[in-house]
Amino acid sequence: MEAAIRTCIIERFSPLHLAIENESYKHSVPRGSESHFKLLVVSAAFEGKSLVQRHRAVNEAVSEIGGGVLPVHALSITAKTPAQWSPGEGMHTTPLCKGGAGK
């Protein structure tokens, strides 16, 4: 799934920078799952678009992998223009999931 997302984002947005993190290990899913992802996409394609429009565009692109349905359980998106991004800037940290039972 990660490779498919990477290819999809590169083809659709020609990003200046792209970082993808599979965060499935932080959740109550089987080992090796690819169900929770975090993206940092920096692209000129986002110029003049609101944050909501950027997120919708990324969600729409990734949904094409699943035939119109988002093929993952969770997708955290940071979408910036080249002017908004500083080289070396990483993704925000996310906490470990407490699990479906609130553990």
| Confidence at 56, pLDDT banded by 50, 70, 90 | very high
Q: What is the mean pLDDT of residues 80-102?
A: 74
Rounded-to-integer distance, Cα 91 and Cα 78, Å: 8
Tell me: pLDDT of 27 over 70: no
Please say whether the beta carbons of 42 and 15 come within 8 A.
yes
Whether 70 is covered by a domain: the verdict is yes
Enter the DSSP assignment of 29: S
Rounded-to-integer distance, Cα 67 and Cα 89, Å: 32
Of the chain, the percentage scoring pLDDT greater than 90 comes to 50
Residue recorded with tokens 């729409």:
60
Whether 102 is covered by a domain: the verdict is no
- Whole-number pLDDT of residue 39: 93
- Whole-number pLDDT of residue 28: 67
Q: Which CATH number covers residue 72?
A: 3.30.300.90
Q: How many domains does the chain have?
A: 1
- pTM higher than 0.85: no
- Kindly state the tokens that stand for 13: 């947005």
